[in-house]
Amino acid sequence: MELRPNGTLLVRAPLRASARHIEQFINDHEAWIKKRQISFENNPLTGNPTALYLLGRNYTLKRQTASRFRYSLTNTEIIIVGPENKPIEDLIIAFYKKEASLYLHDRVAELCEATHFPVESVRITSAKTRWGSCGRQRNIALTWRLMAHHPSVIDYVILHELAHIKHPNHGRHFWTLVLKWDPAAHRHRKILKDPQFTIPF
């Protein structure tokens, strides 16, 4: 069961599942659905964007017009500047990609040093459903969409991928290592699924 950013509830079921069984499944998870719907409603990027999350903090979003893209941050506002004919969603994506390039490479380097698990390269992606990945050649990929989350949640994703260098699976030894580095890993994993921090485009 998945609640999409546009509010649509998607339920996947085996072909043999009856409509009655699916309906009962939805009814049994009514509280979960309502909680997720409220989170989507509180997402500042749903509908007409009014605010942005950056590293877990909520900033008021302001747009200004100019021929070239740029942005600035204050303690309470993110001011994004760009061409008038450019959709605000495109400017927001450009903002997050720039912030990701400034933050994620350095943070990976810091955690590599702390864990003594070096990587060969770090690549920033636009993945919507995969927060990160680690290749066989110690190549880490992270989505820029992480930048909406608090630094501790971002650290969890990075540490999760670093743990795959030693354990290329999600077995007991893998989670033992992740929890050694991040004792709150399971809580951070849940936060990643909060629609409030979803970038719906």
Q: What does the pLDDT look like over 114-141, one tens digit per residue?
A: 999 999 999 999 999 899 999 888 999 9
Question: With 70 as the cut, is the pLDDT of residue 162 above it?
Answer: yes
Q: How many CB atoms sit inside 10 A of residue 92's CB?
A: 21
Q: What does the pLDDT look like over 82-109, one tens digit per residue?
A: 999 999 999 999 999 999 999 999 999 9
Domain ranges for the chain: 2-41, 51-197
As a dihedral over the C-alpha atoms of residue 127, residue 128, residue 131, residue 135, rounded to 10 degrees, the angle is: -30
Residue 99 corresponds to which tokens in the numbers above? Answer: 């912030």
**CA separation (Å) from 190 to 6, 128, 132?**
21, 16, 15
Q: Which residue has the tokens 């992480």?
A: 146
Q: Which fold has domain 51-197?
A: Zincin-like (3.30.2010)
- The pLDDT value given to residue 81: 97
What stretch of H or E contains 190? helix 185-192
Q: What does the pLDDT look like over 15-60, one tens digit per residue?
A: 888 888 888 888 888 877 776 766 666 778 877 788 999 999 999 9
